[in-house]
Amino acid sequence: MTTPGDTADPSVQATPTGVGQLPEKARAAVAEIKAENAAMKVEGTIAEAEAEATEKQAELLNQVAEEVIEELRERKQEAGQA
């Protein structure tokens, strides 16, 4: 009499990561996908931080531009009165 373990493919092993009983190639593919997902998550976090920094720079640039425009208006008005 054979048991389920006797007929199982030796390349199929259970893994503690929840992948289950998959062949080595499938487990390697899962590991690769997980690594890529982790890398994309890091890249997404970096991109988000860069976007926030760019937004702050744009706000600062806008504020400075408004101040310069106001200063130019004041000087033009003063020049017109002189």
pLDDT (tens digit per residue) in 38-80: 999 999 999 999 999 999 999 999 999 999 999 999 999 999 8
Tokens 């504020």 belong to which residue? 63
Token couple for 79:
């020049």
Q: Whole-angstrom Cα distance, residue 67 to residue 39? A: 42
The answer to whether residues 14 and 21 touch, using CB atoms and an 8 Å cutoff, is yes
Question: Residue 4: its pLDDT value, please?
Answer: 53
- Bigger pLDDT: 1 or 71? 71
Which of 13-17, 34-38, 70-74 shows the lowest mean pLDDT across its residues? 13-17
